[in-house]
Amino acid sequence: MNPQATKNSRWPLIAAIILGVLLVVSLIWGYGAYQNGQDYKNNSDAKSATAVAAAEKVQAAKLQAQFDEASKSPLKTYTGPTTYGSISFSYPKSWSAYVDETSADEPLNAYFFPGQVPGTTSNTAFALRVELVSDAYADVLQQFDSQVTAGTVTAAAYVPPKMKSVANVQVGTMFTGGINQNQDGSYQQGQMVVIKVRDKTLKIYTESNDYAADFTNTVLSSLTFIP
């Protein structure tokens, strides 16, 4: 038998085997590529869906904030009795008020909150509290001495913007920080202005920093009284 002929007859078989191996490798690679492609597509779809949901949430929050801000106008105005200095200030239209003017010792005790005013003993952090008390100005300030010393509250001289050019107005104090203590011992974080009004002391404050902008830009910026 011719060895050369035998050798030549093996080439088709070898070639077929090589082609078969290459075909199998190609199929395996192709399947792997397809699976990777599907995995990428699925993950990409999931990521796109997550991104869209996040964008929609941000947009919804933005629109809600715009609506909430628009709902505050036009502003409402509270004006107290002339006997107690005609205290007056504006507040957002979207806030409701509960005002008690029946006590001689505290001729003004008011609660303000968006929507419906919660119970006065509900431990709610009210958007705005207004108290006109018979306690002397110095005595009210003294109640914050320990907190100022501990650094949980800061104190600064303050005069309402509309009262700066009014004669006989005494400089008040703004407290910032833990102004009121809750039943569990924690403090409501907010701002309080204490100022003398005639023979009484006015305490006007927000019990939550969520309302700090309204407190500063709407309430305090419009606050007036007769000294």
Kindly report the pTM of this predicted structure.
0.70
The domain spans of the chain are 1-70, 76-222
| 134 closest CA partner among 154, 104, 158, 113 | 104
For 112-211, where are the alpha helices, taking DSSP H only?
A: 137-142, 145-150
Mean per-residue pLDDT over the chain, rounded: 85
Does domain 76-222 sit in CATH 3.30.70? no
Using 70 as the pLDDT threshold, list the residues of the chain that sit under it. 1-17, 19-27, 29-42, 44-49, 52-53, 55-73
Identify the three-state secondary structure at position 117: coil
Contact 147, 173 (CB under 8 A): no
Confidence at residue 121, expressed as pLDDT on a 0 to 100 scale: 85
Structural tokens at position 224: 């007036």
Confidence at residue 69, expressed as pLDDT on a 0 to 100 scale: 57
Confidence at residue 114, expressed as pLDDT on a 0 to 100 scale: 97
Confidence at residue 157, expressed as pLDDT on a 0 to 100 scale: 98
Confidence at residue 185, expressed as pLDDT on a 0 to 100 scale: 77
Let me know the angle formed at the C-alpha of 196 by 193 and 200, rounded to the nearest 5 degrees.
115
Confidence at residue 193, expressed as pLDDT on a 0 to 100 scale: 98
